[in-house]
């Protein structure tokens, strides 16, 4: 029986690498995979899943105009893999539950759980509510050896705790940190 998986972590935990690895494993067995990424993620160009290790693949760009259920019904993949799931809407997540429940197609979504202010992204909130399985992908704090659970955002070289929730960026803007290092860095600013 198919399930909806939400695998979350902070940045730099290997989520995109995992998406590409799973796609490779399915395709090596001659199975069809639908790779997707939200249209808002344009860090490496729209419609691209790129890992920091240098692996990349083209992916279907999804936005609020695309019904993932209808697309899946038409293409009938063996699995759907979605990167940057935090940018999905609640409606899109509910659509994914229909893919799983009515079409019996497994869906695996990778993404961030919380933003740099420690608020849930709307897509992550919906995934936490509707996913059959929720799994954490471990990451290491940028400053110490503890598990990273938060994102620290930088502007002009200084940590910030205010601003727009969504600002696409990588290590140039964000680092993954543990709670202690998060608090410590914000106190020092």
Mean pLDDT of 50-75: 87
Please determine, for residue 171, whether its predicted confidence score (pLDDT) is greater than 70. Answer: no
The answer to which of 9-13, 115-119, 134-138, 185-189 has the lowest mean pLDDT is 185-189
| Other residues' Cβ atoms within 10 Å of the Cβ of residue 157 | 5
* Contact (CB, 8 A) for 153 and 116: yes
Please determine, for residue 179, whether its predicted confidence score (pLDDT) is greater than 60. Answer: yes
Catalytic residue ranges: 84
Q: Tell which wins on pLDDT, 165 or 15.
A: 15
Q: Looking at residue 55, what is its pLDDT?
A: 84
Residue 63 token pair? 């936005």
Q: What is the pLDDT of residues 133-151, one digit of tens each?
A: 999 999 999 999 999 999 9
Question: What does the mean pLDDT of the chain come to?
Answer: 90
* Contact (CB, 8 A) for 179 and 147: no
Helix, coil or strand: residue 95: helix
- Rounded to whole angstroms, the Cα distance separating 80 from 150 reads 27
- Rounded to whole angstroms, the Cα distance separating 103 from 54 reads 33
């Amino acid at each position: 029986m198919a399930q909806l998986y939400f695998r979350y972590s902070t940045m730099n935990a290997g989520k995109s690498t995992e998406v590409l690895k799973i796609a490779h494993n399915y395709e090596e067995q001659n199975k069809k995979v639908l790779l997707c990424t939200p249209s808002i993620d344009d860090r490496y160009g729209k419609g691209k899943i790129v890992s920091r290790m240098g692996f990349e693949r083209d992916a279907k760009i999804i936005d609020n105009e695309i019904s993932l259920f209808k697309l899946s019904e038409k293409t009938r993949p063996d699995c759907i893999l979605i990167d940057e799931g935090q940018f999905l809407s609640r409606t899109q997540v509910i659509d994914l539950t229909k893919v799983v429940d009515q079409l019996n197609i497994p869906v695996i979504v990778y993404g961030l759980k919380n933003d740099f202010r420690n608020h849930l992204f709307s897509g992550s909130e919906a995934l936490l509510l509707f996913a059959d399985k929720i799994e954490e992908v471990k990451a290491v704090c940028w400053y110490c050896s503890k598990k990273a659970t938060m994102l620290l955002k930088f502007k002009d070289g200084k940590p910030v705790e205010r601003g727009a929730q969504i600002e696409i960026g990588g290590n140039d803007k964000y680092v993954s940190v543990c709670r202690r290092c998060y608090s410590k860095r914000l106190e020092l600013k």
